[in-house]
Chains A and B, each alone.
Chain A
Amino acid sequence: MGNITTRKNGLQKFFLQLGYRWAIIFLFLEIILFSIISPGFFSFNGIQVILINSPFILLLSLAETFVIITGGIDLSVGFVMGFTSVVSAKLIAAFVGLGMNDLLSIIVGIVITLVIGIIPGFVNGILIARLKVPPFIATFSMIGITHGISELLIKGTYAKGLPALAGRIGNGSLINIVPGKTVSFFISPTIQRGDQLIEILPTVFVIPFIFILIFAFILKSTKFGQHTYAIGGNVDAAIRAGIDVKTHIIKIYMLSSFFATVAGIMYVFRYVTGKADAGAMFLLEGIIAVIIGGASLYGGIGSVWKTLIGCFIILVMENGLRMLGVPTFYKLIVVGIILIFAVLIDQLSPELIHKEE
């Protein structure tokens, strides 16, 4: 409230701001720290490595952002990602096997996968919105189902037979320059020994980032986004205001599955294979990024941009520690502590949420 805030002195205001913006400040401190203690960190290559490793956590946390704002949770995104990585890899390999052109196989494979990939979300949505199954249980059940189906598809191994083009997309960048020879977009060029290759912004980062831009806008500025917040804030109010809450929830879980599907496709590009448990690691990281970004599991609070900050806190930590040669196990400890710390800050200063939207 304005009149209370004006009564606060400068120092209090400063700490209020600090508390509110701790995530972005923390991220900057993290970057500065690693830049000092780890020489290769703040370099063109160092940043490139972070971005190349980013797509899965970015997409899964984007999915969770929407779900968590409605007050739900989607535990299935990791295995939907694995499932769709298998499906798209199998489809693309099958089309190539039928003698179809590589690029066309990839495009058709992706399109079909995107359609299949939203089915788990649709089922989750129906279970949650219509049958009143708690999100935790519905989406956990979906883990079992998608995991089982994808393992059956690949008989417990991994999908193979993908064209080399998939890997060239996965290793490609938005702009690939071989000085004096070629410039290509999105797809990595074939290079001779001795050629220098300049790559700007990895494809596997650019594609998720486009989704982030679009959906940050949708969440913030459209009726769909507004209703998402309203449902998380007060379901009764949303219903009485005439919002079709059930349909909205179904859409949210379909959207979540859609992002997981894009993540699965990114996995195929990046690793030129499909695996049932491709996304198992990234589920918790995705949720943690959303919470570090300041969202509340009780719903109603959160934003795509803040989630993005949460993602990069984790990514920078991960890559910084790796470049220092610290075993990745330590990352788990640090991330666990940051997670608890993030929520503690919110709890200890309830005034922080007393701000204008």
Chain B
Amino acid sequence: MSNNKNSTLSVSQSLLSILARNWALLFVLVLILIFSFTGINFFSSKNFQNILHLSTIYLLLASSETFVIITGGIDLSVGFVMGLSSVLSATIMRELHAANFTPALSISIGSIVGLIVCIIPGLINGVLVTKYRVPPFISTLGMGGIASGITLVMCEGFPVTFLPPYLTAIGNGYLIYILPGKAISFFNRPEGIVGEELRKLIRIIPNSLMFNFVILFILWHILKNTKFGQHTYAIGGSMDAAVRAGINTNKHLIIIYVLSSFLAGLAGVFNVFQTGIGNFTPFTAMYELIAIAAVVIGGASLMGGKGRIFGSVIGVILLRTIENGLHLSGVDPFFRFIAVGLILIVAVVIDQLFPDLF
């Protein structure tokens, strides 16, 4: 008797649980449905590719925050570290290019140095947070200021230009180009296409999409299937328990902050490929806050112990879809700020109302 009752209850409960757990995904689908009616050219593979392509840096920053937030920390420096890596790698590329290095070599060296240097802020954050017990909020806030200052000193407040060629061709390129009935090519546009034919050229799978897919798959795998991921959750769930279980929490947290900085650096380097210039991060850009918002919408808790890469990806896509959809629907762009604020509140209130469902 009571068993029966329990099982029906648990079915409806688990249904509710699935709904609540994936409300963000459902919301994205609903948004897509709505914008398909209201938005001009919203529902097209071109536009969806565009949304994902322009989400790249947010996806990287959000996944870096995902790791940090699961441990119960926060990283407010990612936006500025991204700017640092963007400006640094662009500057190196420009100088090498000016010194007559080949574009391939200039770009490679610039990217690699940018990535390596961006590990340093994360390393310092990690050491401050673990060894000196500086709250993550403060150490990363301070590090953000320092990174931002160094970036601006380096670029003197202007974007870094005169970079080697091919950057944007790679960053904004596609895997497959098809000119219907005539040509198909991979990575590069078919030769000799101009004018009318260029408009007809079908582009499939942006390079950024593959790049995103590979990076996110690796991060998802690490978090979901490895010991490292397990320990990340353990530390966020209960630091004491993790210490007593013999996890080297200090080392683990340092790696987490280094990873976070590294992903921010990756976002910065990608930004160079995407825009063809080195962009500093203005003090008012709030990249890190948007990334954190995406992670929270994705079901993570700022208290730690909870969060998923997939959730964060959905969070980013949700925010970007709103932006893109409202834009294509001709809504005043400033409504999107309001929409983001409201959705974030909804996300957390849902989390509060169904705390056990996640």
Binding site for B on A (CB under 8 A): 73, 75, 127, 131-134, 136-138, 140-145, 147-149, 151-152, 156, 277, 280-281, 284, 287-288, 291, 297-298, 327, 329-337, 339-340, 343-344, 347-348
B81-110: CB near A (< 8 Å → 1, else 0) gives: 000000000000000000000000000000
Please judge, given known A-B contacts A133-B345, A133-B349, whether A337 and B146 are in contact too, CB under 8 Å. yes
Q: Indicate if the CB atoms of B145 and A127 lie closer than 8 Å.
A: no
Q: Indicate if the CB atoms of B149 and A330 lie closer than 8 Å.
A: yes
User: Which residue in chain B gives the minimum CB-CB distance to A142?
Assistant: B341
- Whether, in the assembled complex, B356 has its beta carbon less than 8 Å from a beta carbon of chain A, the answer is no
Q: Pick from B74, B157, B341: contact of A148, CB below 8 A.
A: B341
* Chain B residues in 8 Å Cβ range of A287: 141
- Whether, in the assembled complex, B289 has its beta carbon less than 8 Å from a beta carbon of chain A, the answer is yes
* Chain B residues in 8 Å Cβ range of A133: 345, 348-349, 352
Q: Pick from A73, A138, A334: contact of B345, CB below 8 A.
A: A138
Q: Indicate if the CB atoms of A336 and B352 lie closer than 8 Å.
A: no
> Which of B332, B337, B338, B339: most chain A CB closer than 10 A?
B337
Q: Indicate if the CB atoms of B337 and A148 lie closer than 8 Å.
A: yes
C-alpha spacing A143/B153, complex, angstroms:
29
Query: What is the size, in residues, of chain B's interface with A at 8 Å between Cβ atoms?
Result: 48
C-alpha spacing A138/B302, complex, angstroms:
12
Q: Pick from B137, B147, B344: contact of A140, CB below 8 A.
A: B344
* Chain A residues in 8 Å Cβ range of B157: 327, 329
- Whether, in the assembled complex, B163 has its beta carbon less than 8 Å from a beta carbon of chain A, the answer is no
Q: Indicate if the CB atoms of B152 and A332 lie closer than 8 Å.
A: yes
Q: Indicate if the CB atoms of B145 and A339 lie closer than 8 Å.
A: yes
User: Which residue in chain B gives the minimum CB-CB distance to A153?
Assistant: B334
* Chain B residues in 8 Å Cβ range of A75: 289
Q: Which 10 interchain pairs have the tightest Cβ spacing?
A: A144-B341, A336-B145, A332-B149, A148-B337, A333-B149, A329-B152, A148-B338, A336-B146, A151-B334, A280-B284
Q: Pick from A134, A333, A334: contact of B348, CB below 8 A.
A: A134
User: Which residue in chain A gives the minimum CB-CB distance to B338?
Assistant: A148
Q: Indicate if the CB atoms of A281 and B153 lie closer than 8 Å.
A: no
Binding site for A on B (CB under 8 A): 74, 128, 132-135, 137-139, 141-150, 152-153, 156-157, 283-284, 286, 289, 292-293, 296, 302-303, 332-342, 344-345, 348-349, 352
Q: Pick from B132, B143, B289, B337: contact of A336, CB below 8 A.
A: B143
> Taking the nearest CB of chain B, how far is it from the CB of A164, in angstroms?
29
User: Given known contacts A277-B284, A288-B145, A336-B142, what 20 new A-B pairs fall within 8 Å (CB)?
Assistant: A73-B137, A127-B345, A127-B349, A131-B352, A133-B348, A138-B348, A141-B340, A143-B289, A144-B339, A284-B141, A297-B135, A297-B138, A329-B148, A329-B152, A332-B148, A333-B153, A337-B142, A337-B146, A339-B141, A343-B138
Q: Indicate if the CB atoms of A148 and B334 lie closer than 8 Å.
A: yes
* Chain B residues in 8 Å Cβ range of A340: 128, 134, 138-139, 142-143
> Taking the nearest CB of chain A, how far is it from the CB of B236, in angstroms?
15
User: Which residue in chain B gives the minimum CB-CB distance to A341?
Assistant: B142
User: Which residue in chain A gives the minimum CB-CB distance to B296?
Assistant: A137
Please judge, given known A-B contacts A148-B336, A335-B145, whether A137 and B344 are in contact too, CB under 8 Å. yes
Please judge, given known A-B contacts A75-B289, A333-B149, whether A152 and B334 are in contact too, CB under 8 Å. yes
Q: Indicate if the CB atoms of B133 and A137 lie closer than 8 Å.
A: no
* Chain A residues in 8 Å Cβ range of B292: 136, 140
Q: Indicate if the CB atoms of B284 and A298 lie closer than 8 Å.
A: no
> Which of A132, A134, A343: most chain B CB closer than 10 A?
A343
> Taking the nearest CB of chain A, how far is it from the CB of B326, in angstroms?
11
C-alpha spacing A333/B150, complex, angstroms:
7
* Chain A residues in 8 Å Cβ range of B340: 141, 144
Q: Pick from B134, B143, B332: contact of A343, CB below 8 A.
A: B134
User: Which residue in chain B gives the minimum CB-CB distance to A298?
Assistant: B135
User: Which residue in chain A gives the minimum CB-CB distance to B154?
Assistant: A329
* Chain A residues in 8 Å Cβ range of B333: 156
* Chain B residues in 8 Å Cβ range of A141: 293, 340-342, 344-345
C-alpha spacing A298/B296, complex, angstroms:
21
> Taking the nearest CB of chain B, how far is it from the CB of A163, in angstroms?
27
Q: Indicate if the CB atoms of B149 and A329 lie closer than 8 Å.
A: yes
> Taking the nearest CB of chain B, how far is it from the CB of A261, in angstroms?
18
C-alpha spacing A283/B340, complex, angstroms:
20
C-alpha spacing A132/B171, complex, angstroms:
42
> Taking the nearest CB of chain B, how far is it from the CB of A263, in angstroms?
16
C-alpha spacing A55/B259, complex, angstroms:
39
C-alpha spacing A336/B340, complex, angstroms:
29
Q: Pick from A140, A152, A339: contact of B289, CB below 8 A.
A: A140
* Chain A residues in 8 Å Cβ range of B348: 133-134, 137-138
Q: Indicate if the CB atoms of A281 and B134 lie closer than 8 Å.
A: no
C-alpha spacing A357/B138, complex, angstroms:
25
User: Which residue in chain B gives the minimum CB-CB distance to A138?
Assistant: B345
Q: Pick from A73, A156, A333: contact of B146, CB below 8 A.
A: A333
> Taking the nearest CB of chain A, how far is it from the CB of B89, in angstroms?
19
User: Which residue in chain A gives the minimum CB-CB distance to B144?
Assistant: A336
* Chain A residues in 8 Å Cβ range of B133: 347
Could you show 19 A-B contacts with beta carbons less than 8 Å apart? Answer: A73-B137, A131-B349, A131-B352, A132-B352, A134-B303, A140-B341, A140-B344, A144-B337, A148-B335, A151-B334, A291-B138, A329-B153, A336-B144, A336-B145, A339-B145, A340-B134, A340-B143, A347-B132, A347-B133
Q: Indicate if the CB atoms of A151 and B337 lie closer than 8 Å.
A: yes
> Taking the nearest CB of chain B, how far is it from the CB of A79, in angstroms?
9
> Taking the nearest CB of chain A, how far is it from the CB of B261, in angstroms?
15
Q: Pick from B137, B153, B286, B345: contact of A330, CB below 8 A.
A: B153
Please judge, given known A-B contacts A137-B302, A143-B341, A333-B145, whether A327 and B152 are in contact too, CB under 8 Å. yes
* Chain A residues in 8 Å Cβ range of B74: 136
> Taking the nearest CB of chain A, how far is it from the CB of B344, in angstroms?
4
User: Which residue in chain B gives the minimum CB-CB distance to A344?
Assistant: B132
User: Which residue in chain B gives the minimum CB-CB distance to A283?
Assistant: B284
* Chain A residues in 8 Å Cβ range of B332: 152
User: Which residue in chain B gives the minimum CB-CB distance to A132?
Assistant: B352
User: Which residue in chain B gives the minimum CB-CB distance to A127?
Assistant: B345
Q: Pick from A138, A147, A331, A335: contact of B337, CB below 8 A.
A: A147
> Taking the nearest CB of chain A, how far is it from the CB of B207, in angstroms?
31
* Chain A residues in 8 Å Cβ range of B143: 336, 340
* Chain B residues in 8 Å Cβ range of A142: 341
C-alpha spacing A142/B352, complex, angstroms:
18
